[in-house]
Amino acid sequence: MSDLCCGGDGAPEPRRGRPTPNLTPAPASRAPASVTCSCCSGGDARGRPRPVTADSASDGGHAGAGETADADGCGDPTCGAGAPEPEENPGAWWNSATVRWAGLAGVLWLSGLVGEWLAPVPVLATVLFAGAIAAGGWTFVPGTLRALVRGRLGVGTLMTVAMAGAVLLGEVGEAAMLAFLFSLAEALEDHAVARTRHGLRALLDLVPPRATVLREGRETTVDPAELDVGDLLLVRPGERIATDGVVRAGRSTVDTSTVTGESVPVEAVEGTGVFAGTVNGGGALEVEASARVADNSLSRVVHIVEREQARRGAAQRLAARIARPLVPGILVAAALIAVAGSLFGDPGVWVERALVVLVAASPCAFAIAVPVTVVAAIGSASRSGVLVKGGAALESFGTVRVVALDKTGTLTRNAPAVVAVAPAHGRTREEVLALAAALEARSEHPLAAAILASHPDPAPARDVAAVAGNGLTGTSADGTPLRLGRPGYIDPGPLAPEVARLQEQGATTVLVEADGRLVGAVAIRDELRGEAAEAVAALHRMGVRTVMLTGDNERTARALAARVGIDEVHADLRPEDKSALVSALRRHGPVAMVGDGVNDAPALATADTGVAMGAMGTDVAIETADVALMGEDLRALPRALAHARRARRIMLQSLLLSGAILLVLIPLSAFGVLGLAAVILTHELAEVLVIANGVRAGRRAPVTVSPSASSDADAARTPEHT
């Protein structure tokens, strides 16, 4: 429903909320029973928006042939309409009852015009016009009357009054034209919204209709809805994976393009996590289910998008603030025109002008300009592996002029490896690694995994303790005191030139000490994403300023930044430091912070737009960020930004067009320059143009990003770790 039908704003909207509501994933087998509505549903006892179901939204849901998406106003597709069932095909416009009623009204109206011209007796034309009024009015008059009973006024109210007034004045043909054109515009709006929603819901159709489960050594075919956590699935070559899981046996490649937007298949071996809806390649896999179908990644994405579509951005709130008081104001102005004109002139002329003003001032196109664009743009983004959390996030992202990027896991692959070992005089490479591995044996730090990969199965040190921000201490198996940590915590001594050289090459260096004597240095680098430089270059071509924020040392950070083309670097940062820097950057324009959605949570929350990288299957990342890139390809970032910018331009175009038409039509109709027929035609044409313009946001904006960084090329590159 449109904000026009609402008695209030619903739940208050902060500048940039980061809600973490209870997540109740929708069953994959059908659309959810409700969609959270922030503008029409009021709220519960705690002020949270209530869900509006297809049953409860009797003034706006698709509950029957006699109702449009918003019977008493112009439909806001982010609010109040139940999602279509997956089996419906919104591409077949004739399946819509609203379209059929509008078509019948059009046929009857045109037949009435022909009858009026041919028949000497006007009775036939009058009957046909009456039929057109009944058919067209059936799509919005019942809902309008129900809304009036509840004290709500909407655009449907204006159209009903104008249609009834035209009939009373004997202008039955013009009333029939109004009924036809308004019902047609509403039908087109319903169809456009249904198509964009169907694109999102079609993600759930990626789950195969049947799944093969291995139980007691036997293959059993079951409905995916019957799968439980721990079930072992057999996925043959070419089959879709029914739910999220972990590969327990087999080796293959998995095409994730339909879910993450990445075009290059990823390798799947034992221990690899896989997602629902992805396609198995050339080898058979045994996958242990880690989620039920109703709780898997696809269901979560669809549920979150449909829930967050109700979050309204600045443009949508502005349109609501202007449009909401406009309807009662129009009714008062029309009444004054009719009364005052009748006192000083011909009552018939001025009553007719008042009716024309009612139609001319209807803010239907203005009210739907932003919602139609939001639904189209968000649905399109989700199908390309980008999750946008509602209209507020889309608008905010479209204004971004500064992008702050975390280093680890964003510009790099978060897969550190040992690249060099520098032993002190009299020590060996193996001795340095053995002592370092002894201290890191039970550590969960990413650097520990790199050291243990170079020296597996060490003899663990005893009494290991972490020294916050510096390193580790402990005792070797033979009782020798050990220390491991960054330069500064441990003096590099004669290895200082070598440590500096390794840091300048982008490596993180740790020093190892035994019994107070330096043993050696271990250099670790995190592999730079092969596409990182291309993504940064694409952002620069879009006029975006890029900044690196990292907790790593200055030398390492600047070495990596130089390779990807980032000039501004802030290093040695704690999480709270990143948040403070983002606040400072906002003085230069809207800022997007790109991180992993967990460690960078303060900075993500501070930025105008928080972007989580590689969020597929990560609840925290999806919930905390405004925008989540489901895949691991950083080139999705400039593409998503270009898409948001284009959607924002389309919103502004539609708002300006709608506002300009209102400013022109109202005075012309009030002074009698335009008649009812001309105003109706102009008004409904404007609505059709706004809907068509908004649907354009469903097409993705082209961005020039070099395709040279394929996964094969990445694998062939020299690892770039920081």
Question: Residue type at 57?
Answer: A
pLDDT of res. 173:
83
Task: Spell out the long-range contacts of 321-324 with Cβ–Cβ below 8 A and sequence spacing 24 or more.
Answer: 322/363, 322/366, 323/2, 323/3, 323/4, 323/363, 323/366, 323/367, 324/3, 324/4, 324/6
The series of mean pLDDT values per 10 residues for the chain, 722 residues long, is 35 37 36 37 35 35 38 44 41 68 89 80 84 89 85 75 78 82 72 58 74 88 91 91 92 77 74 87 90 82 60 57 69 82 81 81 73 82 81 88 89 85 94 93 77 90 83 90 91 92 86 94 87 94 94 83 92 82 91 77 84 68 75 90 93 88 86 81 81 84 51 36 32
Q: How many CA atoms lie within 13 A of 685 on its CB side?
A: 8
Listed in sequence order, the residues at least 6 apart from 118 whose beta carbon sits closer than 8 Å to its beta carbon are none
pLDDT of res. 431:
93
Residue that has been written with the tokens 């709006």 in this structure? 189
Dist. CA 429–CA 437, nearest whole Å: 12
pLDDT of res. 163:
81
3-state secondary structure 354-418: HHHHHHHCCCHHHHHHHHHHHHHHHHHHHHCCEEECHHHHHHHHHCCCEEEEEHHHHHEEEEEEE
Dist. CA 702–CA 649, nearest whole Å: 15
pLDDT of res. 197:
56
Q: Which CATH number fits domain 415-527: 2.40.50.100, 3.40.1110.10, 3.30.450.20, 1.10.760.10?
A: 3.40.1110.10
Beta bridge partners of residue 246, listed in sequence order: 273, 288
- In degrees, rounded to 5, the angle at the alpha carbon of residue 175 between the alpha carbons of residues 172 and 177 is 110
- The CATH fold of domain 208-292: 2.70.150
Catalytically active residues are 406
Dist. CA 449–CA 128, nearest whole Å: 80
State the distance between the two ends of the chain, measured CA to CA, in whole angstroms.
Answer: 51
Helix (H) or strand (E) holding 328: helix 326-344
Residue 706's closest CA among 640, 642, 634?
634
- Domain edges within the chain: 97-203, 208-292, 330-377+645-694, 387-411+529-641, 415-527
- In degrees, rounded to 5, the angle at the alpha carbon of residue 688 between the alpha carbons of residues 683 and 694 is 125
Contact 500, 476 (CB under 8 A): no
pLDDT of res. 422:
95
Pairing state between β 273-274 and 245-250: antiparallel
Take residue 590 and report the two structure tokens written for it. 């809207």
Residue that has been written with the tokens 């008004």 in this structure? 683
Dist. CA 467–CA 80, nearest whole Å: 55
249 three-state secondary structure: strand
Query: What is the torsional sign of CA 32, 37, 43, 47?
Result: positive
Residue 277's closest CA among 204, 385, 223, 198?
204
Dist. CA 133–CA 390, nearest whole Å: 38
Q: Which CATH number fits domain 387-411+529-641: 1.10.3720.10, 3.40.50.1000, 2.30.60.10, 3.90.230.10?
A: 3.40.50.1000
Query: What is the torsional sign of CA 117, 119, 121, 124?
Result: negative
Residue that has been written with the tokens 């940062």 in this structure? 573
Residue 514's closest CA among 474, 468, 465?
474
C-alpha distance from residue 330 to each of 59, 155, 200, 511, 668 (Å): 21, 10, 37, 76, 15
Phi first, then psi, for residue 287 (nearest 5°) are: -120, 125
Instruction: Kindly tell me the burial class for residue 477, based on how many C-beta atoms sit within 10 Å of its own C-beta (0-12, 13-18, 19 or more).
Output: exposed
Contact 370, 319 (CB under 8 A): yes
Dist. CA 435–CA 427, nearest whole Å: 11
pLDDT of res. 533:
94
Dist. CA 627–CA 253, nearest whole Å: 28
Dist. CA 503–CA 511, nearest whole Å: 13
Instruction: Please count the other Cβ atoms lying within 10 Å of the Cβ belonging to residue 320.
Output: 21
Question: Which pTM does this prediction carry?
Answer: 0.65
pLDDT of res. 716:
34
